[in-house]
Amino acid sequence: NAGVTQTPKFQVLKTGQSMTLQCAQDMNHNSMYWYRQDPGMGLRLIYYSASEGTTDKGEVPNGYNVSRLNKREFSLRLESAAPSQTSVYFCASSSPSRQEQYFGPGTRLTVT
């Protein structure tokens, strides 16, 4: 069991470039989440997906789009990166029965 995997681990973008962060889980979880973590700010929810085929905005969705490709995969897309999107991005998943969220190792993104 790999748990939650994220790619890439590190990425540097120039302002205006686009990219997609990939996330996959092998725990058969229904719910998946994207968070961003900035120094001193804790974890802030960008988007979440309660089940395959559904997505919903979180606290800070502006500038991002998501796709729940299937039950395993949940991707986050930055269409036109901005320096304010420099952050560490975590993907997580959970099941209704166990409730705890399992986090991936994170993607450290720098936008110059």
Q: Which is nearer to another protein, 26 or 59 (CB)?
A: 59
5, 19, 43, 65: which one binds another protein (CB under 8 A): 43
Q: Is 48 in the site for another protein (CB under 8 A)?
A: yes
For residue 86, state whether it binds another protein (rule: CB under 8 A). no
Size of the site for another protein (CB under 8 A): 23
> Where are the extended beta strands (E) located within 26-94?
31-38, 42-49, 56-57, 64-68, 74-78, 87-94
Contacts 24+ apart (CB under 8 A), 55-58: 58/33, 58/34
- Report which DSSP code applies to 85: G
State yes or no: residue 45 binds another protein (CB under 8 A): yes
Q: Which is nearer to another protein, 67 or 101 (CB)?
A: 101
Contact 77, 18 (CB under 8 A): yes
Is residue 62 a contact point for another protein (CB under 8 A)? no
